[in-house]
Chains A and B, each alone.
Chain A
Amino acid sequence: MDDLDNDYDEVPVTPGQGEQENAESDDEQQDWRMLAAIGSKKSLPKRGEKEYEPTGSASDRNNLDESRQAMYTALNGERQHTSKVHISGIWYPHLRKAKVLVARGPHFKSIGKADSSGVIWLLPEEVIYLVERGSMSLYNARGDAKISLQACYAACLGACQGQERYLVYAYLKRLGFIVQRATTFDESGEERIVQKPDSCRIQRIWKFLVQKFDSFCTGLRLAIARKIPSFGPIICGGLWRSYDSIYKELQIIPFYSHRGSDLTPKSTVAPFRVAYNVWKPRPSFKKSNPGEPDFRVVVVNAQKDKMPTPAQTGALFSTLPVFHDSTSTSQQRLREGYKNVIIGVVDYGIISFITLGDVSFGDEHIYDRHAASRLSKHHTTKKRQA
């Protein structure tokens, strides 16, 4: 109990509490008094204001004491679950999988994989997750001894490709997400080919033509401009008809573009490979036909792994499908990326998620739209006046 004193705000959120969280609550401390309030007629406490500061008053101290006491009471409670949905399984160390003896309960909607004979097998992270939350009893291969939680960790964690990956898996599972291993989970797994080769070829031909035309124009310009000093300007004193044409002339810096980029997947090296596919919680989820995942998660260790270089990021992006379709706005494409991936950064058990998005500011036309919006605004104000 004593060691809990120091880090009580880091205790993982259970699904029950998660439902009561509002959208703003992720960074705030848990108010444990709500546990004490459940079942009684007391209403739930309101969340503090953003600019709240402790006043050091007696009521503040009283609130804190009450909250702490409620937490202790909650943690002291015995964990129970009905025997109806209790699962039991056998761990086979050489297979690195557990065979489920009795598959019951809602977990199997998103967990486990059935073989041809209908027997459901669990992956090691699924085993630890179920045993840890008390939903499953695990037995040794002979089936005569129950494996304790500690022994379960010792047996299964090695097969999870690192502790960090299990922590991220369990964290997302507890929050209600559906999490499955991606094909690139193992070192040997191959990337899927995401893009169709047809569009790829057209884009390559287009890129080739654009390059040829560009080099032709540059050559022509160089030939004509022998007298012009080589130190600019780009925008000469001539007459310009629009800012758009000025911007086009200014665009001389080469940039990485989605349109011309090579679309064949490159090989990725751990840790910068997609470890898990993640779906938002949905009742219609089918293990056999999960559909495109909502998120793809890469897991890294903050102590060992630094941020990826663009070569590593590029290889990772090349294995991902395009996130945005043609209906997305340039705003969305720039903020969320044309493709994106989530990096779960694990530092001594603390998980921080960061999205990396593949963007190209050069592909988006920003000035164009301003002109349009300004014109339309001007138009509407005129109308109103009339």
Chain B
Amino acid sequence: MKKRNLNAIYHSPLPVEVVALPPLVPHNPISVAYYVYQLVFVPFLWGFKRRRRLTAYMELYTDSVSSYVSSIAVGSYEDMQELWKAGFFGKGTQSRSDPTWVLRTSKRLQEASGETEIVAPEEVTARRRAARKKFKNARALVEQGVVSNPADPEKVETNEERRGQKLTRAEDMALRDSEGKVRQLEKLQLTFQEAFFLAYALDIIDIYDGRTGDLVTVPYLLGLLMPDWSPDNSFIVNYVVYHHYRSHGWCVRNGVKFGVDYLLYKRGPPFSHAEFGVIVIPLYSDESKNQLMRRDWYWSSGVNRVVGGVKKTMVLCYVKVPDCIDKWHSVEELLKMYEVREVVLRRWIPSRNRD
């Protein structure tokens, strides 16, 4: 497989447009003129330019007592691509993470024409696993003494054969629209922290109520996400951590698969594995409460083993929770009432640290 130019595809770390100043060559008058143009006129013209805003829909779950947000998702293909490529926000509802369902489905349906060579990450994994399984089966046969020659494994289905079987599905016709294109049935689901970050901090997304179609304003959204307004509300505590790492340049993604709250990627999933697994722990001003909430060493050992097993470092992220969050004039002031402190935890193995 030809390696894609990742830097070109995922060039920006946030879905915000940046216009860099050109390099200035003082003895070249054209360069100076261009620099001045970029410095003075571009910001002026920028004021008239309308920024494209992304659209998300919020689903509310309402019962007799209260209503709460059940999901926030982006539906348009362009918006999904932009959110994924610039900052790796959200998760495709039909995909592992990158919303590739349309790509994969149209590829599967077009397979007969044999023109595409775009490979979705799910497929890369599937191919690798198939190859590894084939190898393991062959090795097991050799070890058991059934087969003496490892170079003679049983005939395994080729990729082409497997794809050929997939081509014949009765319900596939319903996936295409009148023009024969695959319908966009996938959505990009955002975590509440991601949605709030995009709506409040970056201001690039408009969230609409899925049923009424009304625009959900930031104050209304905040009220829905933290209905009890307690200082240690899990949304706000997690948001503080999410915002903290995002603001320091990390790509932050959900870490439930590794038993942690967040994973920190240096640039994003296509570039490298996550380096850190973050666990969020609220910290109170009352030290006796903190003493009561201390976790034991069995817990830390368990998480550390899982996180360490996938070559990540475990980070305990303590969030100092204020006693009262009633008095604030802006969300920024509210967020500034919290404070973050980190401790990393690693297993230490004496025999590996001796020489």
Contact = CB atoms under 8 A, between A and B. Distances in A.
A and B form one complex: yes
Interface of A: 13, 18, 21, 23, 25-26, 51, 55, 57, 171-172, 175-177, 222, 230-243, 246-247, 250-256, 280-281, 294-295, 300, 302, 306-311, 313-314, 334-337, 342, 345, 347, 352-362, 364-368, 370, 374, 377-378
Contacts of A366: 248-250, 266
Contacts of B336: 252-254
Interface stretch (B64-72, B156-164, B177-185, B295-303): B295-303
Given A239-B43, A241-B18, A256-B341, A354 B202 contact: no
B7 interface: yes
Given A236-B203, A362-B340, A247 B248 contact: yes
Interface of B: 7, 12-14, 16-21, 42-43, 46, 51, 136, 143-144, 199-203, 217-219, 222, 240, 243-250, 264, 266-267, 275-276, 283, 287, 290-291, 294-301, 304, 313, 315, 318, 329-333, 335-336, 338-355
B78 to A, nearest CB: 19
A175 B351 contact: yes
A230 B344 contact: no
A342 B19 contact: no
A307 B297 contact: yes
Given A234-B202, A335-B313, 6 more contacts: A231-B330, A231-B331, A243-B13, A246-B18, A280-B355, A357-B343
The 4 closest A-B pairs by CB, nearest first: A233-B203, A367-B249, A230-B330, A250-B247
B347 A354 contact: yes
A302 B297 contact: yes
Contacts of B14: 243, 246
A362 B244 contact: yes
Contact of B18 (A176, A240, A355): A240
B328 to A, nearest CB: 8
Contact of B7 (A172, A231, A241, A377): A377
A336 B245 CA distance: 18
B266 A370 contact: yes
Given A231-B330, A240-B16, A256-B342, A251 B247 contact: yes
Nearest to B203: A233
A382 to B, nearest CB: 13
Contacts of A361: 244-245, 248, 250, 264, 315, 342
Contacts of A364: 248
Q: Is the interface of B mostly helix, strand, loop or mixed?
A: mixed
Contacts of A232: 199-201, 203, 218, 330-332
Contacts of A336: 344, 346
Contacts of A294: 353
Contacts of B143: 55
A240 B46 CA distance: 10
A357 B354 contact: no
A251 B346 contact: no
B201 A235 contact: yes
24 contacts: A26-B349, A171-B350, A231-B331, A232-B201, A232-B203, A234-B200, A235-B202, A239-B19, A240-B19, A250-B246, A250-B247, A251-B247, A253-B240, A255-B341, A255-B342, A302-B298, A314-B341, A353-B350, A354-B348, A356-B344, A361-B245, A362-B244, A365-B249, A366-B248
A255 B318 CA distance: 10
Given A255-B244, A361-B245, A374-B7, A354 B345 contact: yes
A355 B350 contact: no
A355 B329 contact: no
Contact of B296 (A243, A246, A307, A310): A307
B12 to A, nearest CB: 7
Nearest to B289: A309
Contact of B350 (A177, A308, A345): A177
A377 B7 CA distance: 10
A365 B250 CA distance: 10
A231 B244 CA distance: 18
